[in-house]
Structure 1
Amino acid sequence: MSAAFERKLPFGASVGADKTLFRFWAPAHPEVRLEIEGSDPVAMAPEDGGWFSAELPAPAGSRYRFHLPNGLAVPDPASRFQDGDIHGWSVVVDPKAYHWKTGGWTGRPWAETVVYELHVGCFGGFAGVAEALPLLAELGVTAVQLMPIADFPGARNWGYDGVLPYAPDAAYGTPDELKALIDRAHGLGLMVFLDVVYNHFGPDGNYIGAAAPTFFRDDLQTPWGGAIDFRLPEVRSYFTENTLYWLMEHRFDGLRLDAVHAISEQDWIDEMAAAVRATVEPGRHVHLILENEHNQQSHLAGDVDAQWNDDFHHVIHVLLTGEREGYYEDYVEDAAAKLARTLSEGFVYQGEPSPHLDGKPRGTPSGHLPPTAFISFLQNHDQIGNRAFGDRLTALADPRGVEAATAALLLIPHIPMIFMGEEVASETPFLFFTDHNDELAEAVRFGRRKEFAKFAAFAGAEIPDPNAASTFERSIPEPHPERAEERTALYRRLLALRAAKITPGVPGAKSAGAEPLGPKAAVARWELGDGSRLTVALNLAEEPASIAPIEGPVLFETTPGAADAARAGQLPGYATIALLESAA
């Protein structure tokens, strides 16, 4: 079914039959001029509330920018594409120029989700990701999640330095190439999610403050500067429209909202989610995901599907590596009990004091939530890339332990997430990389080294230069020369089992409890929505752990005989077993 889609924005450049309407918010200025490349700037008509508009002949492909009275020429904050990076010209885009082959795609239910997080640049741009999709679909992945693509400075960046939230970065490709990527994914039965950043702008190229200083607060600071003022209706609309733009015009199947704990007006999250549900076509599956390191679960009772579960990662990381610095100190004591809790209730910290936070309470109760409210993972961009040397778990832990943890991750009813390269046992680091101007590059370089100077493991070590091209190049995942084939086969087997045996019972699943078995082991049970009963036991120690008798036919065992040994009272070391008892 061929189709064309457009989100009619209340600002930016909207292409009409023979003219384009431009709207720009500059409440700090009495006048604004619009320049179309090749023509003299023209005065825009003032409107109520600090808005300015102009309607001119400017077909798709026209370059434009806004001139402020102080002589500053700025790009459109709602630019759909940029020519000349973040400081250059905004480009008029006709959203309906792309004709979708999969216009009738309605997505997939949340319970079927298996997320694969990737960095678009590491795949060679939108076209490179599109080429990789068949292999991911064959592996058993059902959703590809792109790290942020909003226009950032330079040619390489994690994406969290974006300053133009509506413009896919030209380093990755054009808007039509992005749509072609999503179109191809839908043709393969894959969902595509996008990581979006609404809690801050990057340090270079943020011109919004020059036109609208009130967009930011001077009474509330974040790690990235003055907080975005979500008390203002114009600010709320700017970001709500961004969610709808990506979902309706680009046909993304879901969004992951970065660090929402840094958004001061938490009610906006629910307002935005309600707007999404009210706007998306009936019968179409669209999913909303939050990252919230405070373990707040209040948004999960409404229109938000799930939240990243850092606790799951942290406790397994501690059990597999023995690390205890930084926030890992919160997971060292009673680690097996914490493992059991994250399996059964999602969050480990549900209001208990956090040693890492000097005893301050962290989290809210989560045991009442369904398992699908949690996206769990063994690795992600943050947990690897925020290490000084970008070490993957593959390079830090015994491969047998990694495989046992992988089996548990992919067979429990939580929504699992895989980070690019895990499926080929990659040991390639994922480093923090940028492409900033010289002054900012030096500041980032200094800050990165200062950040890790306090860690004993990195004392005197040379932290990779974030701005060096080689730092990015080293971050492209490569298959492990010896273990890749075997690891891929494990993922393929586990995801096939999940799809055939676990997923049908995920809707309506609820925890039936969990308990620790030893210093690094736990067993957890779920009543699935189809009436079956799932038991997963995992031991992340090399030594066996005592286990009480468990029941049910064997769905999976890490090594042959592991389930028989567990039935005899001993769960072998580095083992995961899953038993599935069908409904009577």
Structure 2
Amino acid sequence: MTRLTALSAVLMIGAVAACSAGEGEKVGSSEADLWSSQRPGMGASIYDGGVSFRLWAPNARRVWVVGDFNGWYPEANELGNEFNGNFSGDVAGAHRWQKYKYVIEGPDGSRFWKSDPRAGRVENSNGSSIIHDPGAYWWHDGGFHTPSFRDQIIYEMHVGTFTSPFGGVGGWKSATEKLQYLAELGVNMIQVMPVAEFPGDRSWGYNPSFPMAPESAYGTPEEMKAFVDAAHQKGMGVIIDVVANHWGPNDLPMWCISGECLGNGGPYFYTDWRAQTPWGHTRPDYGRPQVRDYIKDMAQMWLHEYHADGLRWDGTKWMRTASGDGTDDLGNAGLDMLKWINESVASQQPWKLKSAEDFGGHDWLTKQTSWGGAGFDSQWDGEFVHPVREALIKQEDGWRDMYRVKGAIEHSFNGQATQRIIYTESHDEVANGEARLPERIWPGNANSWASRKRSTLGAAIMFTSPGIPLMFMGQEFLEDGWFSAEDPLDWAKAHNYHPITQLYRDLAHLRRNWHDNTRGLRGDHVNVFHVNNGQKVIAYHRWDQGGPGDDVVVVANFSGQWLSDYRVGFPRFGMWRVRFNSDWNGYSSDFGNTPTLDTDAVGGGQDGMPNSASFQLGPYSVAIFSQ
């Protein structure tokens, strides 16, 4: 059991690196002689006997800090001007959990109140900042090790709708109560959709107002840490989805922070055409050192203070180009910043997953920076989800294109399986005009036989293809409709469709090689050796090093026809055991229970393989074989 005692001084280090004024060093003021703080850290930093405050407001004339510690008197504690854009000071007697704000005098002499852009906790997006103690939580996860990239199975969670205690907004406490369920499901990484403070209580989270403060509607920072701690104790890591391609656009404490907007939102933001994003004129100015430090400190905060096991960067294409389509750029400022942050994480905690939602299809994105890349470990792969979903959703078997499915299975970045994240459902794929896969297969009848068969077919393809598999919450029990921040998961389905959940559990265990006979599903190698576009059958070989317990053969039937005595190639001679048959009626009483049996591969090769074997295969079904 460890306690973080130095975090107050370590995790909030940012643009203060440029600060030269020290404690006991008097700085000039036309209003009064003031003292700036020599203590490190931006925002509110607790020290023994008080709190130091430091705000970056480069065009402000004067700054005061007001709060519970001085009766909210506007002129009780003026901060010293460090003449580098920062204003700072020490307030003796201030302590954690007290509320505060800044009073800022702009260039024109007008005064206004602002919350702290670096607040680690807030009342809400319109409320006061709260003095946050990063070391207040006692951790119990000392024996935890983040799963290796090749072992990871990600479960994407929206905290606000994952549970609905008393019909309200879900939070960290109620989500913690479901962790045992997730551990038993077989996932070992939980990716939470953005959890930084946003306006209101219900949102996807991609509109952050306070990037460094956990969403108040979900609970306290300590409750978030308890969630991560409990997940670690059950063998699961936590990934934070972070947003830095824009902020807000509402309730932004950094907007016009100095009282001068510079034509847009002030020094935190671009003030020309580069400010424009699909979500408002709020793109951060990646070229300013103080803004770069702010974003880096935010990333490091999640990884160090909150013990997160990875970061998923939202919409990185909008950080490296202004239009998001690559036809223009931001002078490389955004990309250079991402490289810089990735290098920092890799040098300190290389086992933590740095992933990008980019959809540019670039291999260089997941190359090391020393090799000319951006330094990400993995990226979301649109070349997998769209062809596979299309093949599953088509109503007529004849419309399914097995060659596109082949391309989806084989696609890779730099030949490494873990450099892509693959899925059939994610928050974007089940909303924005789309819906849950069972719903898309048969609108209004998501629990139909066709929806159950074809959605689980897609799950089997995902778990057995090269890549880090990701499932969206509720996918494992046939959640229907589309995702909304207003609509919590229907946990009754977890009971009603628990056999389907068992199917997902079995696939997860095979993917993680729990039974020591499917190691190849964790490897880099794949060979799609059989494509029958007439009968809609595809077969592929997965392996790591090869040999018994490693080689895996997957055969998928994308048609509604039962296949008898179907023959494909096999890489090795001898008996191949059936490890999984999605047509088993234990997964659903109306599945066909086709007797896909162990089969003996004999010489006289086929499909470019040295051996071949035959078997039966049910409609819209997958069989997994290994030795």
TM-score by length of 2: 0.76
**Offset of 1:180 from its aligned partner?**
0.7
Out of 531, 539, 543, the residue aligned to residue 561 of structure 2 is 543
- Other-structure match for 1:190: 236
Aligned residue runs from structure 1 range 327-476, under 5 A: 335-346=401-412, 366=413, 368-387=414-433, 391-397=435-441, 398=450, 399-431=452-484, 433=485, 472=486, 474-476=487-489
Aligned partner of 1:240 in structure 2 is 296
In structure 2, relative to structure 1, the CA distance for the partners of 1:477 and 1:309 (3 Å cut) is farther
CA–CA distance in 2 between the matches of 1:99 and 1:503? 39
In structure 2, which of residues 306, 323, 329 is the aligned counterpart of residue 250 of structure 1? 306
Letter in structure 1 aligned against 2:524: A
Equivalent-residue separation in structure 2 for 1:286 and 1:376 (angstroms)? 18
The equivalent of 2:47 in structure 1 is: 16
Q: Deviations over 1:125-154 (max 9, x none)?
A: 000110000111011111111111100011
Which residue of structure 2 lines up, in the alignment, with residue 278 of structure 1?
Answer: 347
In structure 2, distance between residues paired with 1:156 and 1:131: 21
Name the SS for the 2:48 alignment partner: coil
Render the CA deviation track for 1:94-147: whole Å, top value 9, x for unaligned.
Answer: 111111112343322122211111111112200011000011101111111111
Counterparts in 2 of 1:156 and 1:344: CA distance versus 1, 3 Å: same
Q: 1:32 corresponds to which residue?
A: 63
Q: Which amino acid is the alignment partner of residue 623 of structure 2?
A: I
Q: Secondary structure at the match of 2:125?
A: helix
CA distance in 2, matches of 1:262, 1:502: 43
Match of 1:534 among 552, 565, 573: 552
Which residue of structure 2 aligns with residue 460 of structure 1? none
Tell me which residue corresponds to 1:62: 98
Q: CA deviation at 1:8?
A: 3.0
User: Which region of structure 1 is more displaced relative to structure 2, 181-190 or 33-42?
Assistant: 33-42
Provide closer, same or farther for how the CA distance between residues 19 and 43 of structure 1 changes in structure 2, counting only shifts above 3 A.
same
Q: Partner of 1:251: helix, strand, or coil?
A: coil
- Structure 2 match to 1:484: 497
1:266 aligned residue (325, 328, 335): 335
Contact 1:384 1:430 in 2 (8 A): yes
Which amino acid is 1:542 matched to? G
Q: Are the aligned partners of 2:425 and 2:437 in contact in 1 as well (CA < 8 Å)?
A: yes
Residue 476 of structure 2 aligns with an amino acid whose one-letter code is: E
State the distance in 1 between where 2:380 and 2:531 align: 23
AA paired with 2:229?
Answer: D
Give the match for residue 142 of structure 2.
Answer: 103
Within 2, Cα distance between the matches of 1:542 and 1:507? Answer: 30
Checking the alignment, whether the CA contact within 8 Å between 1:344 and 1:524 is kept in structure 2 is no
User: Match of 2:308, SS?
Assistant: coil
Distance 2:614 2:530 in 1: 18
**Could you tell me which of 533, 538, 550 is aligned with 1:522?**
538
Q: What is the match of residue 449 of structure 1?
A: none
Change beyond 3 A, Cα 1:429–1:345: closer
Letter in 2 for 1:310: G
Contact 1:4 1:103 in 2 (8 A): no
Q: Distance in 2 between matches of 1:323 and 1:373?
A: 32
Judging changes above 3 Å, is the alpha-carbon distance between structure 1 residues 547 and 50 closer, same or farther for their aligned structure 2 residues?
A: farther
Equivalent of 1:305 in 377, 382, 390: 377
| Structure 1 CA distance for aligned equivalents of residues 530 and 402 of structure 2 | 8
Spell out, residue by residue over 1:173-197, the C-alpha distance to the aligned partner (whole angstroms, 9 max, x if none): 0000001111111111111111111
Q: 1:79 aligns with which of 116, 119, 144?
A: 119
Aligned to 2:507: 494
Aligned equivalents of 1:31 and 1:333: distance in 2?
A: 68
Distance (Å, rounded) in 2 between the aligned partners of 1:161 and 1:86: 11
Distance 2:395 2:81 in 1: 59
Residue of structure 1 aligned with 2:356, choices 290, 296, 300: 290
Query: Quick one: higher RCO (CA 8 Å, sep 6+), 1 or 2?
Result: 1
Residue type of the partner of 2:2? Answer: S
Mark the CA change 1:549 to 1:170 in structure 2 (over 3 Å): closer, same or farther.
Answer: same
> Would you say 1:115 and 2:154 are equivalent positions?
yes
2-structure distance, mates of 1:568, 1:27: 74
How far 1:479 sits from its partner (Å)? 4.0
Shift of 1:198: 1.0
Aligned to 1:146: 192
| 1:429–1:477 CA contact under 8 A, matched in 2 | no
Larger Rg computed on CA atoms: 2
The separation in 2 between residues aligned to 1:481 and 1:510, in whole angstroms, is: 34
Check conservation: 1:528, 1:534, Cα contact below 8 A.
no
CA distance in 1, matches of 2:538, 2:518: 22
3-state SS, counterpart of residue 228 of structure 1: coil
Structure 1 residue ranges without an equivalent (≥5): 325-331, 347-365, 434-471
- The answer for the alignment partner of 1:462 in structure 2 is none
Q: Percent identity?
A: 28
2:209 aligned residue (150, 163, 187): 163
C-alpha distance in 1, partners of 2:619/2:523? 32
Q: From the two aligned structures, give the one with the greater helix fraction.
A: 1
The secondary structure found in structure 2 opposite 1:242 is helix
Post-superposition offset of 1:569? 8.1
Would the aligned equivalents of 1:255 and 1:289 in 2 still touch at CA under 8 Å?
yes
Cα contact 1:426–1:479 (8 A) shared by 2: no
Q: Deviations over 1:19-48 (max 9, x none)?
A: 211111112322222212323233211124
CA distance in structure 1 between the partners assigned to 2:179 and 2:532 by the alignment = 40
The counterpart of 1:320, out of the listed 381, 392, 395, is: 392
By how many angstroms is 1:307 displaced?
1.0
SS at match of 2:362: coil
Stretches of structure 2 lacking an aligned partner (at least 5 in a row): 14-41, 164-169, 259-265, 321-333, 369-374, 442-449, 584-593, 600-611
Amino acid at match of 2:402: A
Match of 1:93 in 2: 132
Compared with structure 1, are the counterparts of its residues 222 and 502 closer, same or farther at alpha carbon in structure 2 (3 Å cutoff)? Answer: farther
Equivalent residue of 1:561, what SS? Answer: coil
Q: Do 2:409 and 2:466's aligned partners in 1 also have CA atoms closer than 8 Å? A: no
- Mapped to 1, the partners of 2:494 and 2:319 lie a distance apart of 43
C-alpha separation in 1, matches of 2:545 and 2:296: 34
**1:167, 1:422 → 2: CA distance?**
29
Give CA-to-partner distance per residue, 1:190-234, whole Å, 9 cap, x none.
111111111111221113131161322212221123332211211
Segment of structure 1 superposing worse, 308-317 or 89-98:
308-317
CA contact (8 A) 1:374 1:414 kept: yes
In structure 2, how many angstroms separate the alpha carbons of the residues matched to 1:22 and 1:165?
A: 18
Query: Number of residues paired by the alignment?
Result: 508
The answer on whether the counterparts of 2:194 and 2:240 sit within 8 Å (CA) in structure 1 is: yes
